[in-house]
Amino acid sequence: MNIALLGYGTVGRGVDDIIRSRVPDVSVVRILELPDRLTDPRMTSNYDQIVSDQNIELVVECMGGIEPAHTFIAQALSAGKHVVTSNKAVVAAHFAEFAQLATANDVAFLIEAAVAGGIPWIASIEKVRRIDEVRSFSGIMNGTTNYIIDSMRREELDFDVALGRAQELGYAERDPSADIDGIDVANKTILSACVAFDVDCVRDLPVTGIRTLTKTDLNQFASHGLMVKLFGRGVCKDGSYAVAVEPVAITQYSLEAAVPSNFNLVSLEGFTVGPLKFYGQGAGSLPTGNAIVQDVIDVMRGRRQVYDFSRGLTYDPTLLTSDYVFRSSTMPVAADAWAPGMWLVRNRTATQARSLFERLQQEDPTAFMAALPKEG
Amino acid sequence: MNIALLGYGTVGRGVDDIIRSRVPDVSVVRILELPDRLTDPRMTSNYDQIVSDQNIELVVECMGGIEPAHTFIAQALSAGKHVVTSNKAVVAAHFAEFAQLATANDVAFLIEAAVAGGIPWIASIEKVRRIDEVRSFSGIMNGTTNYIIDSMRREELDFDVALGRAQELGYAERDPSADIDGIDVANKTILSACVAFDVDCVRDLPVTGIRTLTKTDLNQFASHGLMVKLFGRGVCKDGSYAVAVEPVAITQYSLEAAVPSNFNLVSLEGFTVGPLKFYGQGAGSLPTGNAIVQDVIDVMRGRRQVYDFSRGLTYDPTLLTSDYVFRSSTMPVAADAWAPGMWLVRNRTATQARSLFERLQQEDPTAFMAALPKEG
- Cα angle B156-B159-B163, degrees, rounded to a multiple of 5: 110
Instruction: Say what the pLDDT of residue B311 is.
Output: 85
Bin A279: left if φ > 0, else alpha if -120 < ψ < 50, else beta: beta
Q: Is the pLDDT of residue B228 over 90?
A: yes
B59 versus A284: the higher-pLDDT residue is B59
Task: Check A278 against B274: CB less than 8 A apart.
Answer: no
SS (H, E, C) chain B: CEEEEECCCHHHHHHHHHHHHHCCCCEEEEEECCHHHCCCCCEECCCHHHHCCCCCCEEEECCCCCCCHHHHHHHHHHCCCEEEECCHHHHHHHHHHHHHHHHHHCCCEECHHHCCCCCCHHHHHHHHHCCCCEEEEEEECCHHHHHHHHHHHHHCCCHHHHHHHHHHCCCCCCCCHHHHCCHHHHHHHHHHHHHHHCECCCCCCCECCCCCCCHHHHHHHHHCCEEEEEEEEEEEECCEEEEEEEEEEEECCCCHHHCCCCEEEEEEEECCCEEEEEEEECCCHHHHHHHHHHHHHHHHCCCCCCCCCECCCEECHHHCEEEEEEECCCCCCCCEEEECCEEEEEEEEHHHHHHHHHHHHHHCCCCEEEEECCCC
Q: Count CA within 13 A, CB hemisphere, residue B20.
A: 9
Q: Write down the pLDDT at residue A185.
A: 98
Residue A376: predicted pLDDT: 40
Name which of A247, A248, A265 is nearest A256 in CA terms.
A265
Q: What is the pLDDT of residues A11-25, one digit of tens each?
A: 999 999 999 999 999
Residue to test with chain A: of B146, B255, B303, most A Cβ within 10 A = B255
Chain A partners within 8 Å of B25 (Cβ): none
Q: For B276-334, write each residue's pLDDT tens digit.
A: 999 999 989 999 999 999 999 999 999 988 898 988 899 999 999 999 999 999 999 99
- Is A281 within 8 Å of B287 when comparing Cβ atoms? no
| Distance, CA of B134 to CA of B136 (rounded, Å) | 6
Residue B373 has pLDDT above 80, yes or no: no
* Cross-chain Cβ contact B131/A297 below 8 Å: yes
Q: Is the pLDDT of residue A196 over 90?
A: yes
Task: Quote the minimal CA–CA distance from B225 to chain A in Å.
Answer: 14
> Which secondary-structure segment (H or E) carries A218?
helix A215-223
Q: Is A103 helix (H, G, I), strand (E, B) or coil?
A: helix
Q: Give the pLDDT band of residue B256 (cuts 50, 70, 90).
A: very high
Nearest CA of chain A to the CA of B359: how many Å? 37
- pLDDT, tens only, B78-122: 999 999 999 999 999 999 999 999 999 999 999 999 999 999 999
User: What is the C-alpha separation between B229 and B328, in angstroms, rounded?
Assistant: 19
Model confidence at A373: pLDDT above 80: no
Sheet holding A43-44, edge to edge: A43-44, A27-32, A2-6, A58-61, A82-85, A109-110
ipTM for this model: 0.96
Active site amino acids of A: 188
Minimum-distance CB partner of B289 among A14, A272, A290? A272
Q: What integer pLDDT is reported at residue A375 of this predicted model?
A: 55
DSSP A140: E
For residue range B151-206, list pLDDT tens digits in order: 999 999 999 999 999 999 999 888 999 999 999 999 999 999 999 999 999 999 99
Whether B196 and B137 have beta carbons less than 8 Å apart is answered as: yes
Judged on CB neighbours under 10 Å (0-12, 13-18, 19+), A129 is middle
Distance, in angstroms, between B293 CA and closest chain A CA?
8
Chain B residues near residue A289 by CB distance under 8 angstroms: 272
pTM, two decimal places: 0.96
Question: Pick from A241, A309, A269, A271: which is nearest to A138 by CA?
Answer: A269
Q: In Å, how far is B180's CA from the nearest CA of chain A?
A: 24
Task: Kindly identify which residue of chain A lies nearest to residue B271, measuring between CA atoms.
Answer: A286
Q: Which of A25, A124, A252, A255 to mutate to test the interface with B (most CBs of B within 10 A)?
A: A255
Instruction: Dump pLDDT digits (tens) for A88-140.
Output: 999 999 999 999 999 999 999 999 999 999 999 999 999 999 999 999 999 99
Of B245, B189, B183, nearest in space to B370 by CA: B245
Q: Is the pLDDT of residue B366 over 60?
A: yes
Average pLDDT, chain A: 96
**Distance between CA atoms of residues A280 and B149, nearest Å:** 26
Residue pair B308/B198 in contact by the 8 Å Cβ criterion: yes
Mean per-residue pLDDT, A201-229: 97
* CA B251-B257-B261 angle, 5° bins: 165
Question: Chain B residues with CB-CB distance to A under 8 A?
Answer: 14, 18, 22-23, 118-120, 123-124, 127, 130-132, 253-255, 257-260, 265, 267, 270, 272-281, 284, 286-287, 289-291, 293-294, 297
Q: What is the pLDDT of residue B306?
A: 82
pLDDT at B376: 40
More confident position, B272 or B352: B352
